Amino acid sequence: MQHDTAGDPITGLKWTHQTPDKIAQLLQQLGIAVSANTVARLLHQLHFSLRVNRKAIATSSSPERNQQFQYIASLRTRFQQRGLPIISVDTKKRELVGNFKNPGAKWDRTPVRVNDHDFRTDSSGIAIPYGIYDQQANCGTVLVGVSHDTPAFAAHAVALWWKREGLPRYPRSRELLILADSGGSNGYRSRAWKTELHSQLCNPFHLTVTVAHYPAGTSKWNPIEHRLFSEISKNWAAEPLDSYPKILNLLRGTATQTGLSVRAYLDRAHYPTGNTPAPQLFRSLPLSRPDMLSAWNYTIAPKL
């Protein structure tokens, strides 16, 4: 096994790509009669362990990455000290609505039979879950779209959250901090995301919105990923998402021992793709940026 062994120099754990069955067969060729179960037990005694690939190497990294993390930390501290709301936003993976396999496992007497292929033509639609996580309240809100994940859809989700959740929870607040990934419908390069925030959120509610984006390749640090989306994935693991009511019920049933609660809404509106704001509209936007890290950070004010 010398050339089939790898290991962790820190913990001393080892692993091999040879299965216990193959190792048992090789030992039997050497005249050592042993079963695969015994081989597995001996491997554990020798500090071997089953291992999977681990996503830990960042293929794209900005030289200003750490500086942006420090800036986000200072923003969060500043808003928390003033009692102002902070939300983390992102779009969860798009799902086909139908009798399709959903990853994961659950306790059951018999396995659930699902389609053997995930064809779009066999579905009754698509579900695009856009999530908003309020870390201070430990509450999540998910708007399930049925059309496209566009900046207009993302901004509408945030505006709906503010109207139904944020404003009642923070009635005196006139400022909001949004933490977002650097790409997608709420990407830092998207002009439509900024103009839609202004028209759907800032102006109607007289709200000043500050947005800070996590650099590319660092979305795992966005709080919504490990505070909300991971819990949703665990709650609906191995459950075929075969109808919109079932999806909404599974979202609303997501909870944790630390008090996480989730609200969910269905958005049947159509959001066309390819809409780009006119240059003069974007130039008239009351948008300000800090002197440093200006690409990832900006504040949008309501028009007076």
In a domain, residue 52? The reply is no
In a domain, residue 59? The reply is no
In a domain, residue 238? The reply is yes
CATH number, domain containing residue 144: 3.30.420
- Please state the rounded mean pLDDT for residues 131-147: 97
My answer on whether 100 and 32 are in the same domain is no
My answer on whether 14 and 87 are in the same domain is no
In a domain, residue 179? The reply is yes
pLDDT score, position 49: 66
My answer on whether 27 and 121 are in the same domain is no
Helix (DSSP H) and strand (DSSP E) numbers for the chain = 11, 11
DSSP E strands, 107-260: 125-134, 139-145, 175-180, 208-213
- Name 212's bridge partners: 179, 297
My answer on whether 39 and 78 are in the same domain is no
My answer on whether 39 and 85 are in the same domain is no
Are β-strands 139-145 and 287-288 bridged in parallel, bridged antiparallel, or unpaired?
Answer: unpaired
The continuous run of DSSP H or E covering 6 comes out as strand 5-7
My answer on whether 113 and 7 are in the same domain is no
Average pLDDT value for the chain: 91
My answer on whether 33 and 128 are in the same domain is no
Alpha-carbon gap, residue 224 to 92, rounded angstroms: 10
My answer on whether 180 and 232 are in the same domain is yes
Tell me how many domains the chain contains. Answer: 2
Are β-strands 139-145 and 125-134 bridged in parallel, bridged antiparallel, or unpaired?
Answer: antiparallel
With bands split at pLDDT 50, 70 and 90, how would you rate the model's confidence at 11? low
- CA angle 218–181–94, rounded 5-degree value: 105
- Please state the rounded mean pLDDT for residues 273-298: 95
In a domain, residue 54? The reply is no
In a domain, residue 241? The reply is yes
My answer on whether 103 and 204 are in the same domain is yes
My answer on whether 6 and 151 are in the same domain is no
* 11 against 78, higher pLDDT: 78
pLDDT tens-place string over residues 183-202:
999 999 999 999 999 999 99
In a domain, residue 182? The reply is yes
Residue 129 near residue 251, CB atoms below 8 Å: yes
pLDDT tens-place string over residues 68-90:
999 999 999 999 999 999 999 99
Domain ranges, residue 6: 2-45
107 alpha-carbon distance from chain centroid:
25
pLDDT score, position 57: 59
My answer on whether 168 and 288 are in the same domain is yes
My answer on whether 173 and 205 are in the same domain is yes
In a domain, residue 285? The reply is yes
